[in-house]
Chains A and B, each alone.
Chain A
Amino acid sequence: MNLKPKHQRMALLGVALVALVGAVLLAMWGLRSQASYFYVPAQVESDPPEIGQNIRLGGMVKEGSLGQAADGVTITFLVHDGEAQVPVRYRGILPDLFVEGSGVTAEGRFAPDGTFDADTLLAKHDENYVPRELEEMTAAQAKATVAETSE
C-alpha cells in the first residue's frame, strides 16, 4: 500500500483516533458497569444496592458490636452512620488500626440474608492519613452524636 505522505498522515491520524475513541468508550462502559459505588448505611436503607453487586460501604464501627463467629476466623460487627446500621461479616485479619468506634470502609457485597460480606476492610491508615470518605464520616457522626445527646 503506497499512499502519499499526506494521505498516510491522515490514515495514521484516523487509526489513532479510532483506537483512542474506542479506549474512551470502553473505559466509560467499564466505569458504568463495573465501578463499585460508595454507600453509607442510611443510603443502604433508603435505596438498597442489589444483592451480589460490588460496593463500598463506609461508616463507624458500632461500639460493643464486634463479635467473633465459632470458626474463630470470621468477624462480625455493625457499621452505622448515626441514622441506620448494617451488619458486616469479614473473614480475614483485621487491619491494624481497626477499632470499635472508629471509621471503616468495607469492600464487598450484600448477601441474601441482608449481611454485608466484606472482602477488604480499610481502616485509618496511620496517624496522618484517613481515607477521605471516613474523614467526613467522623464529622457527620460527631454532629449526629451531639444532636442525640443534646435532645
Chain B
Amino acid sequence: MIAELGLLALWLAAGLAAFQLVAAILAGRGAPVLGEATRPVAVMQGLLAGFSFLMLVWLFARTDLSVALVVENSHVAKPMIFKLSGAWANHEGSMLLWVMVMALSGALVALVEKRLSPATMRATLGAQAIVTLGFYAFLLISSNPFERLPVPAEQGNGLNPLLQDIGLAFHPPTLYIGYVGLSIAFSFAVGALLTGEVTRDFARTMRSWVLGAWIFLTIGLTAGSWWAYYELGWGGWWFWDPVENAALMPWLAATALFHSTSVLASRDALRVWTIMLAVVAFSMAMVGTFLVRSGVLTSVHAFAVDPERGTFLLGLLALFIGGALVLFALRAGGISEGARFSWKSREASLVVNNVLLTALLGIVLLGTLYPLLTEALGTRVSVGPPYFNPVGAAFFFPLVLAMMVGPMLRWKDSNWAPVAKRLAPAWATIVVILVFVLIEGTAGWLSALGLALAGGLAVASLLPLAGRKPWRAPLQLWGMVIAHFGLALTLFGSSSESAFIQERLVSVAPGDSAEVGGWTVTLEKTRPVVGPNWTAIEGDVRISDGERDYVSLHPQRRSFWSPPQTTTEAALWTRWNGQLYVVLGEKGDGSTRKLRMWWKPFVPFIWYGGLLVALGGLLALLGHARSALRRSIGLRRAAARRETV
C-alpha cells in the first residue's frame, strides 16, 4: 500500500502542477480568481511531493523487498542510516528528492514572498510549474521509484559501498537543494521577463533565493571534495572530473548571479545581465545533471548511466533553456536600462567579477565538453589538470585581485589613490610571501602565485572592517569579509599542498619504518576486523617524530560482500600545519605490505575555507532578511502614520 500511496501522491502533485500552470496562464488573460488560486495550489503541490518522498523513505526503512528500487539499492543487513540514505543514493530516489525540494521551494515562494507584484508572482509560479512538471514527467514516465517487482526478492543487492558513507548520505541532497534554488531564480527571471518588471524589489527577492542556493552549493562542493579526499584513498581533493565540474559550474554562475543581484538591488543597474545570468545559472545545473546522468562522459564517479534518461533530460534542457532564451530574445529589449556608473566604483568591480566568473565558467564548460566534441569527430581526448589549472588560473588570479580591490571601492564613484594606499598591507603580504616561496625554491609558479595571492586576499578581506566598531558593522559586511577570507584560506590550503607536499611509497614488513614530512611511520602489525556488512584488513600504524610517539592510525582495506567490492579507508592525522595521510596497500611478497603516505601541509584549510565561505553567505542572507524585515515594518508604520494624519 505504501508504494501505491507514494505513487498516487506523486500523480496528484503532478496534476496540481499542471493546474497551477493553466491557472497562471488564464489569470494573465483576465481570470483573477484563478490567479488567486496559484498560491494555495503551489503549497498543496509541495505537501503532496513531500508526502510521496516520505513514503519512499519509509519503504527503505522497512526494506520492502517487493519494490524494485529497494531491492536494487538496499539490503536487510545494512545499518539503518544507510538504509534511509539508500532512498536517495540512486537515480530514481534522488530525482524524487529533487522534485520534492523543488515543489516545497515553490510552496515556500508562494507562502512567504510578498515583495513582488501579483502579476510577476503569478508568472513566476507559472514558470515554476512548467519546470516542476518536466521533472514530474521524467519521474513518472521514465524513472518510477515505486515500481513493484512481480515476485518479491529475498534480501536485496545492497548499496554501492562507496555510497555507504555518512558524507555521501548528505552530500547529494545539499547539492540538489542548491540546484533547485537556482530553478527558483530561473522562474523569477522568467516571471520578470513576462511582466517586464525588473525592479530593485525583484533583485532583493531573487538575491535571497540565489544566496540560499549558493550556500547549499558551497557546502555541497566542500563536502564532496572532502569525501573524495578521504574515501577514495588516492589522496587528491579535486580531480577536474566531469561530475565535479558539473557541480562547480552552477556554483560559478550562482556566485556571479548574487553579486550582480547586489548591484541591481543597491544601484538599479545590470538589469538585463542579471536576468541572463539567472537563466545561465539554472542551465548549468541542468547541463550538470544531464552530464552526470546520461553517461555521455567518462567519469570516475558518474552514476545511474542510462541513454534513455539522458535523452529525456536533454529534451527538458532544450525545452527550458531554449524557451527561456527565446523569451529573453523577445522581451529583453523591452526592459529599460538601469543606472549608469563610473569605472572607478563598486559596481564596476562587480562587473569585472561577473565577467571573470563567466569566463571561468566558459573554460570549465569547454574543458568538460571538449572530449565529447572530439569524440564525435573520431578522436579520443581526455582533458585534465594540465589544461584546467593554468587556464583557470589565468582568470581566477585576476578575480582574486578584483576581490581585494572591489570591497574597498564606494558605490557610484571612488578614487584610486586612497584605495591603493589602504590596501598597502595586502600588497606587502603578497611581496613577502613571493620572496619567501622563491627562496624556498620548491614550488611551481602556479602554487607560488596562489600562495602569495591567498595571503594578500586574506589581509585585504579584513580591511573593510578596519576603522569600524566590529559589532556595529552590518551583517552583510561581515558575510562578505568572512566569505572572502574563507576563499583565501581555500586558495592557501590548495596552493600549499601542491607546493610543499611530500610523498612516500614503501613496501614494509611488520616492525619496519619509513619517513615522510619529518614523521616516522611504523607498521606494527595487520589484523582482520569485522564490521556490520564488511570485513577488513586493518593496519596498526604508529606515528612518531623519532623521539616520542604521537598516535596510532588504523588504515583499512575493506571488503563488502553485497555487492562484492573492496574499498580503501585511508587513515588521517590532522596537525595544525598539515595532515598525514596513510593508505594501506595490497599484500606483497612474504609478510610485506605496501604503504603509501603523504604529508600534506595545510590541506585542511581547503575545507575550513569552504565552510567559512558558506558561513559568510549565511550571515549575508540573515543580514538581508533583517533589513527586509525592518523595511517592511518601516513601510507599515509610515502607512499607519498617514492614516492617523
Contacts and interface: CB of A to CB of B under 8 A. Distances in A.
Contact of B300 (A16, A20, A125): A125
Interface of A: 1-3, 5, 8-9, 12, 15-16, 19-20, 22-24, 26-28, 30-31, 34-38, 54, 56, 68, 71-73, 91-94, 96-97, 107, 120, 122, 125-129, 131-133
Given A31-B381, A73-B507, 14 more contacts: A23-B362, A23-B395, A26-B394, A31-B367, A56-B382, A72-B594, A92-B596, A93-B583, A93-B594, A97-B566, A120-B234, A127-B564, A129-B303, A129-B305
> Which of B297, B341, B380 has the most chain A CB atoms closer than 10 A to its own CB?
B380
A5 B268 CA distance: 13
Interface residues of B, number: 58
Contacts of B381: 31, 35-38
B363 to A, nearest CB: 5
Contact of B383 (A31, A73, A131): A31
A58 to B, nearest CB: 9
Contact of A122 (B300, B506, B557): B300
Contact of B337 (A9, A20, A68): A9
The 10 A-B residue pairs whose C-beta atoms are closest, nearest first, are A72-B507, A38-B380, A23-B359, A93-B585, A96-B566, A34-B386, A30-B391, A34-B387, A5-B340, A27-B366
B340 A8 contact: yes
Interface string B382-404: 11101100110011000000000
Chain B interface main SS type: mixed
Contacts of A107: 382, 384
Contacts of B387: 27, 30-31, 34-35
22 contacts: A5-B340, A8-B341, A16-B355, A20-B359, A23-B359, A23-B363, A27-B366, A27-B387, A30-B387, A31-B366, A31-B370, A34-B383, A35-B370, A37-B379, A73-B588, A93-B596, A107-B384, A126-B565, A127-B160, A131-B298, A132-B298, A133-B380
B635 interface: no
A92 B586 CA distance: 10
Given A23-B362, A26-B391, A30-B387, A93 B351 contact: no
A1 B386 contact: no
Interface string B220-252: 000000000000011000000000000000000
A24 B382 contact: no
Given A19-B359, A122-B300, A126-B162, A73 B563 contact: no
B154 interface: no
B369 to A, nearest CB: 10
B114 interface: no
B85 to A, nearest CB: 17
Given A23-B362, A129-B303, A54 B340 contact: no
Contacts of A30: 367, 387, 390-391
B590 to A, nearest CB: 10
A93 B362 contact: no
A5 B337 contact: yes
Contacts of B505: 73, 91-93
Contacts of B370: 31, 35
Contacts of B586: 93-94
A132 B565 CA distance: 20
B588 A133 contact: no
B119 interface: no
